[in-house]
């Protein structure tokens, strides 16, 4: 196996490890639109990073965290961030990012790479960053697991039972923001939500507990990464979309399984 | 002797988007007492419960909590099918620390749902879900139980059983109960205090008193109110066809008044 393919595999598997459990919360709490909004604002983060002369990833993390906290605050005062509001934010941020990027002539930006991922151009440094970010997300998830699962069941019950729901919400949104930054290099901003939602949805069919579903989602994501990269290698297709196509194929297969708890 | 009630709501007001839902409401729940909120839809009953368990901070007024552990049953809980969760796990989540299998089974048996322990929560029927929610609240060994229409969707026979269970929790184990109910006749028989709510507290007191209060009559109409009174009257008197009092005991020509009874 060529080394660049190995690097891609390592980074992709790191991503799948974290999008599995985190994606479960995204589907349990109907946060797919929220994930989209964050992912699309990540493009603005790249612009910010370029303007400040820092690494794009720094801008992405900063902008995603700020937007996540703003959205968390909007939810707390009872006015729910509605689907349409998130849609406006997502597409507005994406369009604004594209417009701003096009005006920055002095930098050459691999736009396709940011939008759809360029996993085959991942360096060892990138791979280490992916695993570092993934490790951080997993540690935080483990620390807040009980609280987050209780909130996924019902926020009112969780609060009456003594869980700190306000903090749980912020933690979850920050985790999604972090995972967006981690995922960007691998699948690109357009397809990040796919990596969160599709493996989790595929895992539902074989799981009877939240933990089983989280682990199965990681496995499904990892299978999609391996199959997608293999396909990308054999048929010379773009890597990010190939991974997502493989994930969708897995999802379809999972629906054909005899349901344990349909 | 100083004792704190399990929860005391004082002069609480809540408004949503300028629309007043609760207006200067007072409410106290003592150990071993059943307080039932009645009132029309949209009267603020569920909102008051949320204030009383600390889920909703009031705009004005104070809430003082004396309860150690609160059990809460929301009006409705829908768990998405996408979340894999067994009833056993759902119950165990309510308790801190490990909880034995037999303990879970006993709690379910008490609410008449012993057969659902291994089922997925998303597969429960509405009535089964209400029973499981009640079992879950009881597993916390609360000293205050707050129940928002606890028997909604439960079959008739089950409703009576569950109300008996709730009454036993209060009168045998000393749990304070605050609940919302629409099942006027069944509830009233076992309730220590009725609070008739329509944004403000219209009237409160012993069921017999409340059921004859003019504001209560105005709120529910004489038909509903009358059917209730039949169940809660101490029946030291009868009624003539026009509703006027017919003394049963010649030594007491007029019916007895309760301590909180202010009518003529």
Please say whether the beta carbons of B20 and B13 come within 8 A. yes
| A183, pLDDT greater than 70 | yes
DSSP annotation of B18 reads: T
Q: How confident is the model at residue A259 (pLDDT cuts 50, 70, 90)?
A: low
Residue B10 has phi, psi (to 5 degrees) of: -120, 120
Most confident of A109-118, A252-261, B118-127: B118-127
Q: Of A254, A167, A95, A142, which Cα lies nearest the Cα of A262?
A: A254
Mutate to test the interface with B, among A157, A166, A204 (most CBs of B within 10 A): A157
Q: Does B163 touch chain A (CB under 8 A)?
A: no
pLDDT of residue A184: 84
Tell which wins on pLDDT, A140 or B41.
A140
The predicted-structure confidence for B9-62, as pLDDT tens digits, reads as follows 999 999 988 889 999 999 999 999 999 998 888 889 999 999 999 999 999 999
Nearest CB neighbour to B77, from listed A149, A150, A154: A154
Residue B191, SS3 per DSSP? coil
Instruction: For residues B155 and B181, give the distance between their C-alpha atoms in angstroms, rounded to a whole number.
Output: 15
Nearest CB neighbour to A157, from listed B72, B82, B84: B72
CA distances from B4 to B1, B7, B49, B58, B67 (A): 10, 8, 19, 20, 9
Mutate to test the interface with B, among A25, A146, A160 (most CBs of B within 10 A): A160
Instruction: For residues A214 and A20, give the distance between their C-alpha atoms in angstroms, rounded to a whole number.
Output: 6
- Tokens representing residue B212 in the block: 């004859």
Please say whether the beta carbons of B8 and B48 come within 8 A. no
Q: How confident is the model at residue A107 (pLDDT cuts 50, 70, 90)?
A: low
Q: Which residues of chain B have pLDDT under 50?
A: 1-2, 229-240, 242-245, 252-264
CA distances from B209 to A41, A134, A216, B10, B206 (A): 62, 64, 60, 22, 5
| A30, pLDDT greater than 90 | no
pTM: 0.85
Q: Determine the longest span between alpha carbons in chain A, in angstroms.
A: 56
Residue with tokens 């069919």: A205
pLDDT of residue B242: 47
Tell which wins on pLDDT, B149 or A110.
B149
Contact B84 A209 (CB under 8 A): yes
pLDDT of residue B240: 47
Residue with tokens 């990892």: A222
Strand partners, B147: B73, B179
The predicted-structure confidence for A127-138, as pLDDT tens digits, reads as follows 998 999 999 999
pLDDT of residue B222: 67
Instruction: For residues A98 and A115, give the distance between their C-alpha atoms in angstroms, rounded to a whole number.
Output: 10
pLDDT of residue B227: 53
Instruction: For residues A30 and A169, give the distance between their C-alpha atoms in angstroms, rounded to a whole number.
Output: 13
The predicted-structure confidence for A40-51, as pLDDT tens digits, reads as follows 898 888 888 888
Nearest-CA residue of chain B relative to A204?
B82
Nearest CB neighbour to B84, from listed A160, A162, A261: A261
| A37, pLDDT greater than 60 | yes
| A31, pLDDT greater than 50 | yes
Instruction: For residues B199 and B196, give the distance between their C-alpha atoms in angstroms, rounded to a whole number.
Output: 10
Contact A149 B93 (CB under 8 A): yes
pLDDT of residue A154: 94
Instruction: For residues A160 and A78, give the distance between their C-alpha atoms in angstroms, rounded to a whole number.
Output: 18
C-alpha A46, offset from chain centre: 16
């Amino acid at each position: 196996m060529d080394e660049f393919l190995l690097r891609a595999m390592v980074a992709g598997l790191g991503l799948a490890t974290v999008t599995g459990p985190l994606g479960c919360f995204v589907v349990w709490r109907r946060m797919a639109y929220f994930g989209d909004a964050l992912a699309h604002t990540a493009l603005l983060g790249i612009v910010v990073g370029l303007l400040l002369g820092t690494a794009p990833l720094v801008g992405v993390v900063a902008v995603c965290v700020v937007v996540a906290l703003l959205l968390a605050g909007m939810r707390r005062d009872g006015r729910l961030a509605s689907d349409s509001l998130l849609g406006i934010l997502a597409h507005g941020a994406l369009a604004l990012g594209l417009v701003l990027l096009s005006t920055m002539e002095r930098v050459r930006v691999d736009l396709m790479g940011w939008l759809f991922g360029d996993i085959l151009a991942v360096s060892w440094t990138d791979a280490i960053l992916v695993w570092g970010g993934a490790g951080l997300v997993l540690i935080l998830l483990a620390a807040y697991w009980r609280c987050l699962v209780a909130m996924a069941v019902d926020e009112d019950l969780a609060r009456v039972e003594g869980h700190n729901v306000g903090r749980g919400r912020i933690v979850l949104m920050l985790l999604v923001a972090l995972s967006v930054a981690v995922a960007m290099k691998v699948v690109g901003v357009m397809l990040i939500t796919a990596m969160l939602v599709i493996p989790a949805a595929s895992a539902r069919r074989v799981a009877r507990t939240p933990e089983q579903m989280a682990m199965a989602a990681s496995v499904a994501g990892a299978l999609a990464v391996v199959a997608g990269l293999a396909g990308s290698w054999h048929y010379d297709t773009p890597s990010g979309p190939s991974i997502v196509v493989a994930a969708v194929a897995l999802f379809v297969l999972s629906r054909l399984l005899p349901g344990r708890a349909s | 002797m100083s004792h704190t009630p399990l929860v005391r709501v004082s002069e609480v007001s809540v408004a949503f988007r300028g629309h007043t839902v609760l207006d200067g409401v007072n409410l106290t729940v003592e150990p071993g007492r059943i307080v039932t909120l009645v009132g029309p839809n949209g009267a603020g009953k569920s909102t008051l419960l949320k204030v009383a368990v600390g889920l909703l901070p009031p705009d004005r007024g104070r809430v003082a909590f004396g309860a150690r552990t609160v059990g809460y049953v929301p009006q409705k809980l829908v768990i998405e099918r996408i979340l894999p969760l067994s009833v056993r796990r759902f119950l165990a989540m309510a308790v801190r620390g490990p909880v034995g299998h037999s303990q879970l089974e006993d709690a379910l048996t008490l609410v008449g749902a012993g057969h659902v322990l291994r089922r997925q929560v998303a597969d429960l029927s509405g009535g089964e879900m209400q029973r499981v929610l009640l079992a879950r609240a009881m597993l916390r060994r609360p000293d205050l139980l707050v129940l928002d229409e606890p028997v909604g969707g439960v079959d008739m026979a089950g409703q009576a059983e569950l109300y008996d269970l709730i009454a036993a929790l209060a009168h045998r184990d000393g749990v304070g109960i605050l609940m919302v109910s629409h099942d006027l006749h069944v509830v009233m028989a076992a309730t220590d205090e009725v609070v008739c709510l329509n944004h403000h507290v219209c009237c409160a007191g012993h069921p017999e008193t409340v059921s004859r209060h003019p504001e209560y009559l105005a709120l529910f109409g004489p038909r509903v109110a009358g059917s209730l009174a039949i169940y809660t009257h101490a029946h030291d008197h009868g009624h003539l066809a026009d509703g006027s009092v017919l003394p049963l005991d010649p030594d007491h020509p007029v019916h007895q008044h309760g301590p909180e009874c202010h009518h003529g």
